[in-house]
Amino acid sequence: MSQNSSPGLKEQLLAEIPSLRAFALSLVGIADRADDLVQDTLVKAWANADSFTHGTNMRAWLFTIMRNTFFSQYRKARREVQDVDGEAAARLVALPDQMSHLDFTDFKAELDQLPADQREALVLIGASGFSYEEAAEICGVAVGTIKSRVNRARRRLIERLALQAEEETAQTPDATKA
Protein backbone atom coordinates (compact mmCIF):
# COMPACT_ATOMS: atom_id res chain seq x y z
CA MET A 1 0.00 0.00 0.00
CA SER A 2 1.54 3.31 -1.00
CA GLN A 3 1.29 6.30 1.30
CA ASN A 4 -0.26 8.27 -1.53
CA SER A 5 -2.83 5.58 -2.39
CA SER A 6 -4.31 5.47 1.11
CA PRO A 7 -5.71 8.80 2.18
CA GLY A 8 -7.09 7.14 5.34
CA LEU A 9 -3.71 5.97 6.64
CA LYS A 10 -3.01 9.24 8.43
CA GLU A 11 -6.39 9.15 10.14
CA GLN A 12 -5.93 5.50 11.14
CA LEU A 13 -2.51 6.26 12.65
CA LEU A 14 -3.86 9.30 14.51
CA ALA A 15 -6.79 7.28 15.88
CA GLU A 16 -4.39 4.75 17.44
CA ILE A 17 -2.24 7.28 19.31
CA PRO A 18 -4.11 6.99 22.66
CA SER A 19 -3.78 3.19 22.61
CA LEU A 20 -0.14 3.43 21.56
CA ARG A 21 0.61 5.89 24.35
CA ALA A 22 -1.00 3.64 26.96
CA PHE A 23 1.00 0.66 25.70
CA ALA A 24 4.20 2.73 25.63
CA LEU A 25 3.62 3.86 29.22
CA SER A 26 3.24 0.24 30.27
CA LEU A 27 6.57 -0.56 28.60
CA VAL A 28 8.74 2.35 29.76
CA GLY A 29 6.88 3.83 32.73
CA ILE A 30 7.96 7.43 32.05
CA ALA A 31 5.68 9.81 30.11
CA ASP A 32 8.44 11.56 28.14
CA ARG A 33 10.03 8.30 27.06
CA ALA A 34 6.60 6.88 26.24
CA ASP A 35 5.89 9.84 23.97
CA ASP A 36 9.25 9.32 22.26
CA LEU A 37 8.43 5.64 21.74
CA VAL A 38 5.05 6.53 20.24
CA GLN A 39 6.70 9.01 17.90
CA ASP A 40 9.34 6.46 16.83
CA THR A 41 6.58 3.94 16.20
CA LEU A 42 4.53 6.32 14.08
CA VAL A 43 7.59 7.39 12.06
CA LYS A 44 8.48 3.76 11.35
CA ALA A 45 4.88 2.92 10.48
CA TRP A 46 4.63 5.86 8.09
CA ALA A 47 7.97 5.01 6.45
CA ASN A 48 6.93 1.37 6.05
CA ALA A 49 3.28 1.90 5.13
CA ASP A 50 3.81 -0.23 2.01
CA SER A 51 4.35 -3.29 4.23
CA PHE A 52 0.92 -2.95 5.90
CA THR A 53 -1.66 -5.23 4.37
CA HIS A 54 -4.94 -3.39 3.89
CA GLY A 55 -7.78 -5.10 5.72
CA THR A 56 -5.59 -6.46 8.53
CA ASN A 57 -5.46 -5.18 12.10
CA MET A 58 -3.75 -1.75 12.12
CA ARG A 59 -3.51 -1.71 15.93
CA ALA A 60 -1.74 -5.08 16.04
CA TRP A 61 0.67 -3.93 13.33
CA LEU A 62 1.48 -0.72 15.24
CA PHE A 63 1.84 -2.54 18.57
CA THR A 64 4.27 -4.98 16.92
CA ILE A 65 6.32 -2.08 15.59
CA MET A 66 6.30 -0.45 19.03
CA ARG A 67 7.27 -3.64 20.82
CA ASN A 68 10.15 -4.29 18.41
CA THR A 69 11.31 -0.67 18.69
CA PHE A 70 11.19 -0.84 22.48
CA PHE A 71 13.25 -4.04 22.64
CA SER A 72 15.77 -2.68 20.13
CA GLN A 73 16.19 0.45 22.24
CA TYR A 74 16.40 -1.65 25.42
CA ARG A 75 19.15 -3.86 23.99
CA LYS A 76 21.04 -0.79 22.79
CA ALA A 77 20.71 0.92 26.19
CA ARG A 78 22.07 -2.18 27.96
CA ARG A 79 25.25 -1.94 25.88
CA GLU A 80 25.70 1.75 26.66
CA VAL A 81 27.65 2.83 29.73
CA GLN A 82 26.33 5.56 32.01
CA ASP A 83 29.31 7.87 32.48
CA VAL A 84 28.10 11.00 34.23
CA ASP A 85 31.49 11.95 35.70
CA GLY A 86 33.55 10.88 32.67
CA GLU A 87 35.52 8.12 34.41
CA ALA A 88 34.74 5.47 31.80
CA ALA A 89 35.57 7.85 28.96
CA ALA A 90 38.89 8.70 30.61
CA ARG A 91 39.85 5.02 30.57
CA LEU A 92 39.06 4.81 26.84
CA VAL A 93 41.19 7.74 25.78
CA ALA A 94 43.67 6.95 23.03
CA LEU A 95 47.09 8.47 23.37
CA PRO A 96 47.96 11.00 20.69
CA ASP A 97 50.11 9.73 17.86
CA GLN A 98 51.90 13.01 17.23
CA MET A 99 54.98 11.89 19.15
CA SER A 100 55.37 8.72 17.12
CA HIS A 101 55.02 10.76 13.95
CA LEU A 102 57.72 13.15 15.16
CA ASP A 103 59.95 10.23 16.16
CA PHE A 104 59.55 8.75 12.71
CA THR A 105 60.34 12.10 11.12
CA ASP A 106 63.53 12.33 13.21
CA PHE A 107 64.46 8.76 12.26
CA LYS A 108 63.87 9.43 8.56
CA ALA A 109 66.02 12.57 8.68
CA GLU A 110 68.88 10.67 10.35
CA LEU A 111 68.49 7.74 7.96
CA ASP A 112 68.85 10.14 5.06
CA GLN A 113 72.14 11.40 6.59
CA LEU A 114 73.73 7.93 6.52
CA PRO A 115 76.22 7.13 3.78
CA ALA A 116 74.41 5.57 0.80
CA ASP A 117 76.00 2.12 1.23
CA GLN A 118 75.05 1.94 4.93
CA ARG A 119 71.53 3.22 4.28
CA GLU A 120 71.04 0.69 1.48
CA ALA A 121 72.25 -2.21 3.64
CA LEU A 122 70.09 -1.17 6.59
CA VAL A 123 66.97 -0.78 4.44
CA LEU A 124 67.50 -4.13 2.76
CA ILE A 125 67.97 -5.95 6.08
CA GLY A 126 65.79 -3.93 8.46
CA ALA A 127 62.91 -2.70 6.35
CA SER A 128 62.72 -5.07 3.40
CA GLY A 129 63.37 -8.23 5.39
CA PHE A 130 66.14 -9.67 3.22
CA SER A 131 68.68 -11.99 4.78
CA TYR A 132 72.30 -10.88 4.96
CA GLU A 133 73.10 -13.33 2.17
CA GLU A 134 70.35 -11.95 -0.07
CA ALA A 135 71.37 -8.35 0.65
CA ALA A 136 75.01 -9.18 -0.13
CA GLU A 137 73.97 -10.70 -3.44
CA ILE A 138 71.79 -7.66 -4.30
CA CYS A 139 74.65 -5.24 -3.50
CA GLY A 140 77.32 -7.43 -5.07
CA VAL A 141 79.48 -7.51 -1.92
CA ALA A 142 80.52 -10.10 0.67
CA VAL A 143 78.17 -11.03 3.53
CA GLY A 144 80.68 -9.64 6.05
CA THR A 145 80.59 -6.28 4.28
CA ILE A 146 76.79 -6.13 4.56
CA LYS A 147 76.95 -7.07 8.27
CA SER A 148 79.55 -4.35 8.84
CA ARG A 149 77.50 -1.71 6.99
CA VAL A 150 74.33 -2.59 8.90
CA ASN A 151 76.20 -2.53 12.21
CA ARG A 152 77.76 0.89 11.51
CA ALA A 153 74.42 2.28 10.32
CA ARG A 154 72.59 1.05 13.42
CA ARG A 155 75.24 2.44 15.77
CA ARG A 156 75.19 5.81 14.05
CA LEU A 157 71.38 6.03 14.18
CA ILE A 158 71.34 5.04 17.85
CA GLU A 159 73.96 7.66 18.69
CA ARG A 160 72.28 10.42 16.68
CA LEU A 161 68.76 9.69 17.88
CA ALA A 162 69.91 9.32 21.51
CA LEU A 163 71.73 12.64 21.22
CA GLN A 164 68.56 14.30 19.88
CA ALA A 165 66.52 12.79 22.72
CA GLU A 166 68.99 14.17 25.28
CA GLU A 167 68.85 17.61 23.67
CA GLU A 168 65.04 17.60 23.67
CA THR A 169 64.97 16.50 27.31
CA ALA A 170 67.40 19.25 28.26
CA GLN A 171 65.21 21.85 26.53
CA THR A 172 62.00 20.68 28.24
CA PRO A 173 61.38 22.62 31.47
CA ASP A 174 61.04 20.39 34.51
CA ALA A 175 57.57 20.89 35.98
CA THR A 176 58.77 19.85 39.46
CA LYS A 177 61.09 22.89 39.72
CA ALA A 178 58.27 25.40 39.37
pLDDT the model gives residue 172: 56
Q: How many C-beta atoms surround the C-beta of residue 69 within 10 A?
A: 19
The domain tally of the chain equals: 2
Q: Could you report the per-residue pLDDT of 53-93, keeping only the tens digit for each?
A: 888 889 889 999 999 999 998 888 887 777 777 777 777 76
* Residue 158's CATH number: 1.10.10.10
Which is higher by pLDDT, 107 or 30? 30
Q: Could you report the per-residue pLDDT of 113-138, keeping only the tens digit for each?
A: 899 899 889 989 988 888 999 999 98
72 and 43 belong to one structural domain: yes
The packing angle between helices 143-171 and 132-139, to 10°, is 100
pLDDT the model gives residue 111: 86
Write down which residue in 36, 59, 85 finishes a domain. 85
Q: How confident is the model at residue 8 (pLDDT cuts 50, 70, 90)?
A: confident
